[in-house]
Chain A
Amino acid sequence: MKGCCGNDGISPCGIALAAASPSVKAGRFGSRAQALLPGCAKAAVAAVLLMLAAASANAVDTEAPLRTAEQQSLYRKLLEEVRCMVCQNQNLADSDAPLAKDMRRELRRMVEGGASEGDIKQFLLDRYGDFALYRPRLAPNTLLLWMGPGVIVALALGAIALVIRRRMKMPIPEED
């Protein structure tokens, strides 16, 4: 995998693709690109397949299902949305860390005990804070996170609309 399409600095794929772009005259570079491309495509497909395989290999697949389908789906949903606090870029479903196991056990117990999604999220927020949830709630300190992109898009659209309106009002310049 390494050496082609990996994140190891300059990738030969990058060079090959740039060389293969229509703006570049086919010459010595062109033939090199043709030689490299099939290998890279294979490697890319393999990489995608590997990633898919890794994504489906949850740590919880060996656990017994919960009593009702509703509880099971709530449990699965929480596992996807709750961060493993030790291995912070994994959710609880994917993590094999001992703390993730403890938290899964605790979530199971709460779901089986009939706790609602809100109850369980509050339980986690009270102990681990906003960081525990991959989908942060709307709070003063997460406002920028939720609203920022929307505000920027709104401002940009407003500015574009204004410019267009102004241009439309302008007299069409006479050609020299």
Chain B
Amino acid sequence: MSSGRRRVRWILLLPCAALAVMVYFFGVSLGRDPGLVPSPLIGRAAPEFSLPELLAPGSVFSLQDVEEGPWMLNIWASWCSGCIVEHEFLMALGRAGAPLYGLNWKDAPADAREWLQLRGNPYRAIAVDANGRAGIDWGVYGAPETFLIDAKGIVRYRHVGPLDEAVFSQAFLPVLEGGAQ
């Protein structure tokens, strides 16, 4: 009699336990920043684009024009305030010879050129994505974003928001240096 009752009590706890597990997982998910949407591109080939080059009128910049080895694609615009925050760091990267390319996203080319003249140009080349079509292919939902592509053309990392020293040395540098060897 008493053992049977104990068994019933134990079974009564099951729904509570299942609820607790769900609450735990959803609680963990709630704690995550919903702004940091994981990129489904990671582990896949970098999306193709073929767009006008910002500073070389008449010429086209596409994936094939990127130099061999790992590289970074920075999504920026002259209207983007976070881009000003990260620009000084990007300039330092450019001076150090980092393979940094730009995608000028949903911007007026004239504004973008003026912005670079004022603040300096850290990029090896810049694609003009005026209507944001290439941005959709890259899953861009805000500027700035910075993608890391390895020597085989596979997207390895995506950082949302201004890039800084800490993120760069932790997430980008190992791949960039690994590719240089």
Using a CB–CB cutoff of 8 Å, the interface residues on chain A facing chain B are 85-86, 88, 98-99, 102-103, 106, 125-129, 131, 144, 148-149, 151-152, 155-156, 158-159, 162-163, 166
Contacts and interface: CB of A to CB of B under 8 A. Distances in A.
B18 A155 contact: yes
B82 to A, nearest CB: 13
The SS class assigned to the A binding surface is helix
Contacts of B11: 158-159, 162
B131 A86 contact: no
A129 B22 contact: no
Contacts of A102: 106, 131-133, 135-136
Contacts of B135: 99, 102
Given A102-B131, A151-B18, A152-B18, A127 B40 contact: yes
Interface of B: 4, 8, 11-12, 14-15, 18-19, 22, 25, 34-35, 37-41, 106, 131-133, 135-139, 141-142
B4 A98 contact: no
Contacts of A127: 40-41, 136-139
Contacts of A148: 18, 22
Contacts of B132: 98-99, 102
Contact of B8 (A129, A131, A156, A163): A163
